[in-house]
Structure 1
Amino acid sequence: MTHAFYVYSAYGFAAFVTIAVTLWIWADGRARQKELAALEASGIRRRSARKKDGE
């Protein structure tokens, strides 16, 4: 095993993990947005969207 093989393998693995985590976060964000849209369509609202009694 050469030094170059080790270095390129390490960079390749790091790139793979970075891309995999990025795609996972992107897909999860889309799923949560769809879930939130379904909840809001059914009448469930966010607490932060509620108006205060005095307003």
Structure 2
Amino acid sequence: MWQRRYDIDTGVKLGVTSDMTEENRRLRRENAELKKANEVLKAASVFFAKELDRPRTK
């Protein structure tokens, strides 16, 4: 197993390198975090839009 990974990482064999695998994992985590943040921002914008539309009493 480690020999196969070494051969791929050094370019002897074709395949996804360890660096690319780790980069893909990092980008997937980052993407998931950004999606969550985007949902929070959408919910906040809906909340504040409703607040602005509410009639004000003096």
Give structure 1 regions of 4+ aligned residues with deviation exceeding 2 angstroms. none
- Larger RCO (CA within 8 A; separation ≥ 6): 2
Give the TM-score normalised by structure 2. 0.59
Larger Rg: 2
Considering only aligned residues, what root-mean-square deviation do their CA atoms show, in Å? 1.8
Is 1:16 the counterpart of 2:34 in the alignment? Answer: no
List alignment gaps of at least 5 residues for structure 2.
1-7, 10-16
List alignment gaps of at least 5 residues for structure 1.
44-55
Identical aligned pairs, as a percentage? 0
Q: Distance in 2 between matches of 1:33 and 1:8?
A: 38
